Amino acid sequence: MPDAAPSVLSVRVRDLVLPLSAASAEGIQEGPLRAAVARRLGLPPDRLGPPLLARLSVDARKKPDLRLVCTAACRVPGDDRLAARLAKLDGVEAAILGPGEAPFDPARIRVAPPAFAGGAVPGAPPLVVGSGPAGLFAALLLARAGLRPVVVERGPEIRERARRVAAQWATGTVEPECSVQFGEGGAGAFSDGKLTTRIHDARCDAVLGELAAAGAPGEILYRAKPHIGTDRLRGVVVNLRGAILAAGGAFRFGTRFEAPVLRGGRVSGAVLRDVATGAAEEIPASAVVLAPGHSARDTFASLAALGVAMVAKPFSIGARIEHPQSLVDAWQHGPAAGHPALGHAEYQFSVSVGDRTAYTFCMCPGGTVVAAASEPGTIVVNGMSAFARDKENANSALVVSVDPRDYGATDPLAGVRFQRAVEQAAHRTGGGGAPVQRVGALIGRSVEGRLVAPSYTGPWREADLADCLPPFVVEGMRAGIAAFDRKMPGFAMAGAALTGVETRTSSPVRILRGEDLQSTTHPGLFPCGEGAGYAGGIMSAAVDGLRVAEAVLHANVRNER
């Protein structure tokens, strides 16, 4: 009889600390990484297979001695006794690989239908409303399960959308159906493409794997703070669409969801309207996944009028603050600032101001402040960075929490009206452009020294943000600036620019859903993602899209029975 194949262990080692000199363009040089793994395991380096970098972060707490902290996975020839010994070491996981198995590799983890999925059934396909991350990932899972979903998107495909948005920035105009808020890719397509999230969900690895397979930079699979960049995101979105089409899905751009259709107390279709012609049609659907984005105000109004259960929810408003990126790099990285392995630095600050919170949000290193209004006569700003993050300014939202007590009304759309009133006031204050105020002027200091040139993509003028933001927001921003300057000296630099107003930090409504993720009042309607009030960023929205798609599949299996 032939000899049995030797056993091989899959070993994962956490919290390896290496000097900055071990960095490479691919993350960490193989030699230092292999040596660090071998030391932790107490094995000779030549006994290990090639180490795979699974996670990488920078520890900048003890400047100037910055350190790389990583997790690595590799193959090690061994048996049960070696596996048991290694598993007793701090930060080490070890198990014998089965036939055909490979060590941990996020690139191999992809979106796949769950085991319970029953596949396609006769009848209408599910309808997915919106092609942001929630809608795209819901559609991808449904398509791979054989349900042939139809994605409807009120805006254009991403390439056409980018062209038209650039033209709007140049002219200072607004297209309600094609903007930074609406179109393929959702609002995140014009952002830094951050993939950080506070949720802990196994689906996150599948999302990262799909994004990498669709052309996102490979480093998103191991960076502690991954980002794609608006320039790379556009190609990723096109490739995700291609994956959905290849699996049997379909897309209809320039098509606005008007309302669900009910039969027998259950959603059985939808009324759609062609944006170009205005023609309406009713189509059947086995389920409607509602992922419209946080700015679909007309959709919220339509659903509220039909009695779909929803409530006003908290969000935050403020302005975009811009500093020299070199200031942020020097504060975070010290003498190592500019090292190619570090990239440009980020920050994230928060402070309690009475019973509110002032905080920074969606920080864009080396980025641009963009015009993001979706309604004429309003000003909305957002932040955006390319993958290289190579612009002169760093920008971040500087916002203060708002809750329903501030709206002056209790109905579900009160937050929408509150947002709109602030955005219209900003348009008046800025004379049709964005109002810009120096930090020194906001906090009552003389404006002297270096003036940061606003990067805003539309027209702007110097103004007083107190003329368009509520007093409690202005006071919260002042308190935040003082607190954050103690953490990052220079945050309160007098010449830093504040561009208003940032109002679309999250959805102003939550469309209520039950444990089965269906609307509590309209079965067959599956509220999803950031617009429905269940996510806050690309990763959490994509994960919620997967969760909702699984719920649709559960319902599909129940209906089969």
* Confidence bin at 27 (pLDDT 50/70/90): confident
Q: In whole angstroms, how far apart are CA 369 and each of 61, 89, 401?
A: 29, 48, 21
Nearest to 159 by CA among 217, 237, 216: 237
* Confidence bin at 340 (pLDDT 50/70/90): confident
Residues 212 and 337 placed together within one structural domain of the fold: no
Residue 82 belongs to domain with CATH number: 3.30.70.2700
Q: How would you write 415-427 as a 3-class SS string?
A: HHHHHHHHHHHHH
For residue 510, the cross-strand partners are 311
Residues 325 and 416 placed together within one structural domain of the fold: yes
Q: Which helix (H) or strand (E) holds 384?
A: strand 381-384
Of 472, 502, 532, the one marking the end of a domain is: 502
- Give the integer Cα–Cα distance in Å for 76 and 432: 65
Beta carbons within 8 Å of 84's beta carbon, 6+ residues apart: none
Of 485, 502, 519, the one marking the end of a domain is: 502
Q: In whole angstroms, how far apart are CA 514 and each of 130, 210, 522, 551?
A: 21, 28, 11, 11
- Give the integer Cα–Cα distance in Å for 145 and 384: 34
| DSSP symbols for 421-448 | HHHHHHHHHTTTSEEEEEHHHHHT----
Does any domain span residue 285?
A: yes
- Give the integer Cα–Cα distance in Å for 42 and 503: 54
Residue 213 belongs to domain with CATH number: 3.50.50.60
Give the chain's length: 561
Inter-helix orientation angle 203-213/133-144, to 10°: 90
pLDDT 10s digits, 497-511: 999 999 999 999 999
- Give the integer Cα–Cα distance in Å for 463 and 469: 12
Lowest mean pLDDT among 104-113, 165-174, 188-197, 348-357: 104-113
Take residue 81 and report the two structure tokens written for it.
């006794």
Nearest to 372 by CA among 135, 182, 534: 182
Q: What pLDDT was estimated at residue 556? A: 79
Q: What pLDDT was estimated at residue 109? A: 86
Q: How many CA atoms within 13 Å lie on the side-chain side of 466?
A: 12
The letter for the amino acid at 465 is: L
Residues 214 and 145 placed together within one structural domain of the fold: yes
Residues 330 and 259 placed together within one structural domain of the fold: no
Phi/psi region, residue 93 (left: phi>0; alpha: psi -120 to 50; beta: rest), is beta
Does any domain span residue 496?
A: yes
Residues 269 and 361 placed together within one structural domain of the fold: no
Does any domain span residue 3?
A: no
Q: What pLDDT was estimated at residue 189? A: 95
Q: What pLDDT was estimated at residue 123? A: 81
Take residue 4 and report the two structure tokens written for it.
């049995």
Q: What pLDDT was estimated at residue 121? A: 66
Q: How many CA atoms within 13 Å lie on the side-chain side of 381?
A: 36
Residues 201 and 261 placed together within one structural domain of the fold: yes
Residues 176 and 209 placed together within one structural domain of the fold: yes
pLDDT 10s digits, 419-442: 999 999 999 999 999 999 999 999
How far, in whole angstroms, is CA 316 from its chain's centroid? 17
Does any domain span residue 1?
A: no
Q: What pLDDT was estimated at residue 2? A: 45
Residues 385 and 373 placed together within one structural domain of the fold: yes
Residues 474 and 518 placed together within one structural domain of the fold: no
Alpha helices in 276-361 (DSSP H): 297-305, 325-333
- Give the integer Cα–Cα distance in Å for 428 and 467: 9
Q: Is 70 exceeded by the pLDDT of residue 558?
A: no
| DSSP symbols for 51-102 | PEEEEEEEE-SSTT--EEEEEEEEEEE--HHHHHHHHTSTTEEEEEPPTT--
- Give the integer Cα–Cα distance in Å for 21 and 32: 9
* Domain span holding position 498: 314-502
How far, in whole angstroms, is CA 6 from its chain's centroid? 44
Phi/psi region, residue 100 (left: phi>0; alpha: psi -120 to 50; beta: rest), is left
Q: What pLDDT was estimated at residue 100? A: 66
Residues 323 and 292 placed together within one structural domain of the fold: no
Does any domain span residue 121?
A: no
Does any domain span residue 116?
A: no
Residues 131 and 271 placed together within one structural domain of the fold: yes
Please tell me what DSSP assigns to residue 48: S
Of 104, 135, 155, the one marking the end of a domain is: 104
Q: What pLDDT was estimated at residue 63? A: 83
Lowest mean pLDDT among 59-68, 80-89, 234-243, 466-475: 59-68
pLDDT 10s digits, 279-301: 999 999 999 999 999 999 999 99
Residues 146 and 200 placed together within one structural domain of the fold: yes
For residue 497, the cross-strand partners are 322, 438
Query: How many domains does one find in the chain?
Result: 3
- Give the integer Cα–Cα distance in Å for 471 and 475: 6
- Give the integer Cα–Cα distance in Å for 281 and 493: 56
Q: Which long-range contacts (CB under 8 A, 24 or more apart) does 32-41 make?
A: 33/70, 33/72, 34/74, 36/72, 37/11, 37/13, 37/72, 37/74, 40/13, 40/16, 40/89, 40/91, 40/92, 41/11, 41/13, 41/76, 41/86, 41/89, 41/92
Q: What pLDDT was estimated at residue 560? A: 56
Q: How many CB atoms lie within 10 A of CB 76?
A: 22
- Cβ(164)–Cβ(366) below 8 Å: no
- Cβ(525)–Cβ(519) below 8 Å: yes
Does any domain span residue 392?
A: yes
Does any domain span residue 111?
A: no
Alpha helices in 172-296 (DSSP H): 203-213, 230-246
pLDDT 10s digits, 386-423: 999 999 999 999 999 999 999 888 899 999 999 999 99
